[in-house]
A and B are shown apart, each in its own frame.
Chain A
Amino acid sequence: MNRTFDSEVLLIEDNPNDAELTIRVIKKQVTGTKIHHLKDGEEAMNYIFDDNHQVHQHHIARIKVIFLDLKLPKIMGLEILKELKENQETALIPVIILSSSREDKDITTAYRYGVNGYIVKPVIFEEYAEAIQNAARYWLFTNETIRT
């Protein structure tokens, strides 16, 4: 199942354990995939937008899919999602929420903002690994995205 991939996966996750497990699972699935890990909301916003709220074209050009946690320090995941989906240049990048929350409110708000998928992180690692691998496979290979 291992495949090579030159595009970038953006992972916005504050929990280092979850981040490491996620990176391991994706890399195991797609060999050579470049995963850019950002540790909080502010870091994520600075990576995508400059001080004038202009998009860093050279950053976003490579992003194939964004895995976004909801509960992030400084800027919450839903705020980042809103900014991404409201901006014409980032609106088309697939964003998948990776969250422990099963709350209706979170799920509804995310979809209202235009999220492309919502995965509740299972506690059991096998289940978690399977969910991440399925999502990564789908968004990196199965699903056809708009080429910029």
Chain B
Amino acid sequence: MIESTVLHLVYNTALLLMLVFIFDVFVIRWPRSNTLRNNIPIGVILGLIGIILIETHWTLENGVIFDTRSILIGISGLYFGFIPTLVAMIMTAAFRLSEGGVGVLTGILSILSSGVIGIVWREYRKKEFPDYSLTETYLFGVTLHIVLLLLMFTLPNKEAINTIKSVALPILLIYPAGTALIGMFMTHRLQREKLIHKVREEETKLKIIANHTTDWDYWLSPDGEFIYCSASCLQVTGYPDHQFYNDARLVERIIYEDDREKMTNYLKRDCSKGPAHMEFRLVHHDGEIMWANHSCLPIFDDSGKFMGTRGTFRNITAQKEAELKLIEKTNEISQILSLTENSRRALLSVVEDQKITQEELALLNEELEQRVDDRTALLTAANRELEAFSYSVSHDLRAPLRGITGFTEILMNEYGDKLGSEGAQLCSVIKENTFKMGKLIEDLLAFSRLSRKEIHKSEIDLKSMFKSMYFEITTPSEREKIDLRIGDLENCFGDTSMMRQVVANLLSNAIKYSSGKSPQIIEVFSKREDQKLVYFVKDNGAGFDMRYKDKLFGVFQRLHSASEFEGTGVGLANVQRIIHRHEGEVGAESTIGEGATFWFSIPMHTSPDKQNTKLKKGL
């Protein structure tokens, strides 16, 4: 009997240990499969284990069968949760019902109570991660099995007391211990898995950190072999990590030749003492020379044992190039500054020179002004003398003439009878000559006044001026013989009174010199040439010899004798002086016997449109 009970207990224990395996596989390994679809198969497996447990029961003397289903269902509720436990409860309860016997009700109730207590305990503790302590699982086992013992009272009285007597001790001593043991296994599995998971997470994190860096990190053992070499060595050096694992001296070989001795000393000496860093050049796998910054740190364990060296290579080529460029630029700027300084000095020198030049120039200007002043004074004096001369001529030269004419007149009037006809004739000749001289002096004075007169310019309608002048200087009988043709003359800018003299002279000359022709044809017209207005007065008169055309405009110059045409030879000189004072030119063309064309030009003063406007003013 005892042997049988022990044997069954061993069987039961083995079956219960399967729980640990199921928990390990379904709950721990596949932690994300906590769905209804996956929980029902777990419940079925648990239910099947429960059925096997019931099958491997042992029967007490009174026909009461006994097994460890309470531990299975209770642990299931505690560790697997509601759905798998419910499925297992239904299956085992159904099976127990089919077995029959005196303890059917008690058996079913024990299944239900164990499951409910497990589920409620788990819910109460609200453990997502059911890592219960050993004490808690033992208390759970005690609670579970006290209820189980109490359920024995659901048996008939006789059987109840007998059963309690026979099983109370092992149930209260062994079953809670068994529950605690299985719980301990499962918790242990759970904690171990949790730890593994955490370690894996850390490992992943470290890997991500190590593989996602542009720096090349490594760990060298005390004897100089690579314990760790980050994959980023490929980016920094162009060599994959396994080459460094296989050949630790590769590091020394990829150092640029000029820096190799310095770097080897540094790696051996400085890096084992404490934190150190150095900049040097590496030759990349593709042959390119690049700058790297190396920093290193010796590693010691808790006992102070040297564990090797932890180091980092960082590619600083871009930074170094920028630094070199900066140095280059700084040098350039220094040169520019130096040049600027030189330029500034040169400029100052130029300014200084300019100052001297300006001073010299000012001195020259002063001298020039003085000379201008002197010349102006001389000119003013000359003008004054000229004025005095004119004044003298005006007064003194004419007075005797008046005397001659006056006294000749008195002679004629008072002594006429004594003079006789010849005497009277001679007196007339005296008067006539005196008159001519008077006219000459008058013209000369007018010419002199002209050069001193101020010019007041305004717009002049020359067409109207020619017309009105024509009527002023001709008599109706003279006009009968004249064919005057005035074209569309452009307006000009000039001194009205002076231009009237020009018009009067040219028109009267044309009339005078064409007086021998019939009809006398006189044409007046204008043209534009460059920035000048040119006016022409053409007649069909006597004309002149072109050989003497330069003498035409000289004072007292005459090309015709007084017997042919009267005149003092001042008129055209006046015209030339007036036109020159208007910054224009005069000229004449002629063929003897066919007539002459006199012209004068005036610079355009305003826009052609304005010059075209016909104004009557100044006439």
Contact = CB atoms under 8 A, between A and B. Distances in A.
Asked if A and B bind, the verdict is yes
A126 interface: yes
Contacts of A128: 402, 405-406
A121 B398 CA distance: 9
B611 interface: no
B586 to A, nearest CB: 25
Given A101-B391, A102-B445, A103-B391, A125 B406 contact: yes
Contact of B438 (A17, A18, A123): A123
B405 A125 contact: yes
B409 A17 contact: no
Contact of B406 (A17, A102, A103): A17
B535 to A, nearest CB: 28
Contacts of A29: none
Nearest to B398: A100
A90 interface: no
A123 B441 contact: yes
Given A17-B400, A17-B402, A18-B402, A126 B409 contact: yes
Contact of A100 (B399, B408, B437): B399
A124 interface: yes
A107 to B, nearest CB: 12
B233 to A, nearest CB: 113
B402 A125 contact: yes
Most buried by B among A18, A100, A102, A122: A100
B410 A24 contact: yes
A124 B408 CA distance: 11
A63 B435 CA distance: 35
Contacts, number: 71
Contact of B399 (A18, A102, A103, A104): A18
B403 interface: yes
A136 to B, nearest CB: 16
Contact of B407 (A15, A17, A71, A104): A17
A21 interface: yes
B181 interface: no
A69 to B, nearest CB: 9
Given A101-B391, A102-B394, A103-B394, A121 B402 contact: yes
Interface in B336-378: none
Nearest to A71: B395
A11 to B, nearest CB: 15
The interface size bin for chain A is: 20 to 34
Classify the interface of chain B: helix, strand, loop or mixed.
Answer: helix
Given A15-B399, A123-B405, A125-B405, A100 B435 contact: no
Given A17-B407, A24-B410, A103-B449, A123 B402 contact: yes
Contacts of A21: 402-403, 406-407
B17 interface: no
B434 interface: yes
B151 interface: no
Contacts of A18: 399, 402-403
B401 interface: yes
Contacts of A124: 402, 405, 431, 434-435, 438
Nearest to A13: B399
A2 B394 CA distance: 33
Contacts of A122: 402
A100 B434 CA distance: 16
Interface in A3-54: 15, 17-18, 21, 24
Most buried by A among B400, B406, B410, B449: B406
Contacts of A104: 449, 453
A24 B409 CA distance: 12
Interface in B185-235: none
Interface string A82-107: 00000000000000000111111000
Interface in A104-126: 104, 121-126
Contacts of B449: 102-104
Interface in B420-465: 431, 434-435, 437-438, 441-442, 445, 449, 453
Given A124-B438, A126-B409, 12 more contacts: A15-B399, A15-B403, A17-B407, A71-B395, A100-B398, A102-B445, A104-B449, A104-B453, A123-B438, A123-B442, A124-B434, A125-B431
29 contacts: A15-B399, A15-B403, A17-B399, A17-B402, A17-B403, A17-B406, A18-B402, A21-B402, A71-B395, A71-B396, A101-B391, A101-B394, A102-B394, A102-B445, A103-B394, A104-B453, A123-B398, A123-B401, A123-B434, A123-B438, A123-B441, A124-B402, A124-B435, A125-B402, A125-B406, A125-B409, A125-B431, A126-B405, A129-B406
